[in-house]
Amino acid sequence: MHLFGSSHGPCVGCIVDGLPMNTVIPKERIADEMKLRKPKDGIGTPRKEKDIVEITGDMNGRAFGVPITMTIRNENTHGSSYSEFSHKPRPGHADLPALMRFRDFDIRGGGPFSGRLTAPLVAAGAVMKDLLGSKGIEINAFTRSVGNIEDPEEGVNEIQLTDTRARTPELDVLMKKEILEASEDGDSVGGVVECIVTGLPIGFGGIWFEGLDSEIASAMFSIPAVKGIEFGKGFELSGMRGSESNDPYTVISGKVTAEKNSMGGIVGGMSNGMPMTFRVAFKPTPSISKEQSTVDLKTMTQTTIKINGRHDPCIVPRAVSVVEAVAAIVVADQAKEAGLFDQ
């Protein structure tokens, strides 16, 4: 898959190649997933985009062997508010390395480094989720934490569609409060998204660089603002003994399963049949209205900046759909390599 476009250019989009013949392009599902990525009033950016996905390359709503192009127009852009940052790089953004590396870097909205590029990821992910669902593989994510508010429950069974993508209405209220308090202070907060993939057969995945966890981790770090990932118990495993961390096997109804899931469903880069579970850490949104120190690249002197634009005080609620989409893209790619769609 290839991405194209930039935050304040005419459009963003993606080109999806290699879809199995006759794969349904689920336009209603794509529209629904795009709605979930949209910012919610009060806790998201004031920038409102229609996010209508224009699809070319299909025939009667199905793939027929040529790449599918998905284009999303940028209509609500304010590029002029970014001119100062072409010589005063914003802390926490890609401005400084991008300005040093690319001669004609488009600073507006962060250009190709912007979270705006996650819109086509969600569109493509909707196709993959639909395709995987036909094989009994389901992908669901939720907000595990925002700032200091964390969902304490393990072994999550039910997920509700709240504004913050918290698992329950009660947690949604607490997380909204955390986001609004940061916003009122001219600041931002980060958080964690947890993703659960069910239906993977034992042995699904690969080894070394093609391992399921290797490719999931690599893909997750392509999402702007991601700074960490852990599978199963993750870093907590480092403080355990093997007798605690190992997931003993048993037989239930004639099928091999594990008694618990500390490994997050992956051992040796392959599925052990348990749900694949992982958590993705997102940093606080770097665009904040508090005054920050930076440098003026024209004069090579210390200076300060204040970012007065349209920004999310917390990107985690919108990132839930992105994590699901990227997981679906990776799993679908590995499923194709394994011949799962040929069965």
Q: Distance (Å, rounded) from C-alpha 3 to C-alpha 37?
A: 17
Reading the chain (343 residues) residue by residue, the pLDDT tens digits are 899 998 888 899 999 999 999 999 999 999 999 999 998 887 887 778 899 999 999 999 999 989 999 999 998 766 566 788 889 999 999 999 999 998 788 888 787 888 889 999 999 999 999 999 999 999 999 999 999 999 998 877 778 889 999 999 999 999 999 999 999 999 999 999 999 999 999 999 999 999 999 999 999 999 999 999 999 999 999 999 999 999 999 999 999 999 999 999 999 999 999 999 999 999 999 999 999 999 999 999 999 998 887 788 999 999 999 999 999 999 999 999 999 998 7
Q: Distance (Å, rounded) from C-alpha 314 to C-alpha 188?
A: 6
- Please give the pLDDT value at position 21: 93
Q: Distance (Å, rounded) from C-alpha 317 to C-alpha 45?
A: 12
Q: Distance (Å, rounded) from C-alpha 53 to C-alpha 34?
A: 9
- Please give the pLDDT value at position 310: 73
What angle (nearest 5°) sits at the alpha carbon of residue 118, between those of residues 115 and 123?
155
Can you list the domains of the chain with their CATH numbers? 2-342 (3.60.150.10)
Distances (CA, A) of 154 to 24, 151, 204, 231, 260: 35, 9, 24, 14, 11
Q: Distance (Å, rounded) from C-alpha 105 to C-alpha 98?
A: 7
- Please give the pLDDT value at position 156: 74
Structure tokens at 12: 């963003």
For the question of whether the overall pTM of this predicted structure is more than 0.75, the answer is yes
Q: Distance (Å, rounded) from C-alpha 111 to C-alpha 99?
A: 11
Cα–Cα nearest to 143, from 291, 310, 279, 331? 279
> Amino acid identity of 313?
P
**CB proximity list for 24: less than 8 A, separation 6 or greater:** 61, 62, 130, 131
Let me know how long the chain is: 343
Q: Distance (Å, rounded) from C-alpha 116 to C-alpha 191?
A: 19
Q: Distance (Å, rounded) from C-alpha 94 to C-alpha 106?
A: 11
1 SS3 class = coil
CB-based contact 167:142 (threshold 8 Å): yes
pLDDT in tens, 158-183: 788 899 999 999 999 999 999 999 99
Q: Distance (Å, rounded) from C-alpha 292 to C-alpha 307?
A: 9
Distances (CA, A) of 271 to 88, 206, 213, 331: 47, 9, 9, 11
